[in-house]
Amino acid sequence: MQAMVVRVVPAGLSRLMAKAAVAMLVLLAPCGTWAANGLAAATVLIIRHAEKPASGRDLSDEGVRHAEAYVKYFSSFEVQGAPLKLDALFAAANSKNSRRPELTLKPLARSLRLSINMPFKDREPEALAAALKAESHGRQLLICWHHKEIPDLLRGLGADPDALLPKGKWPEDQFRWVIELRYDGDGNL
C-alpha cells in the first residue's frame, strides 16, 4: 500500500516557502521483497532543484531564495517525529546545461558542513541508486536531481513512480515537493 501525505511549510519559515505548500510523498509500505543493505534503516529524501531562469545553467533569483530557505526548512524537518540529521547530500553532476542541483544544495551544505556528492550525471540516476544500495552513506540522505530523471531514480531505489507522482512524472512546474523513502533494518522499502 502506498500513500501520499501533504506537508504544508510552516508559516514562519520564509515568505518564499510560505507561498506554496510542500507536498511530501511518503512510501509507507514494503515494495515486494526488494532489499538493499546499503539503505538499511535509511531515510532518503528526494527534491527537485530550485527554480530555473529562462536561460542559463544557474538558478533564477527565486531559485536562489528557495535554496537558501532550505537551510531553515530542513533544520526543522522531522522524520517519524524525530529531528532530521542529514548524513549525506547528493546532486546530479554539473553539466554544460545545468548546475542547478548543486546550487540548490549549496546553502544547506554550507550550513551543515557537508560536502555535496556529485558522482553521476543527471541521466544516470539508476547508477546513483545502485551506489546507495551497494554501500551505506548514512541513515538520512538528501538527493537533489532534475525532475525528468526522478522517476528513474525512484525505480532504482525500489519505489513505484506511478504510485508517487502524477502519471509517474514529476510536474514541470513543481519545485516544492519532498519525496521521503523509508527503509527497514534489512533495506526493504
Q: Identify the pLDDT of residue 10.
A: 35
Percent of all residues in the chain with a pLDDT value above 90, rounded to a whole number: 79
Q: Is the pLDDT of residue 94 over 80?
A: yes
pTM of the model: 0.85
Question: pLDDT for 34-57, tens place per residue?
Answer: 456 899 999 999 999 999 999 999
In 3D, which of 40, 55, 45, 89 has the Cα closest to residue 189? Answer: 40
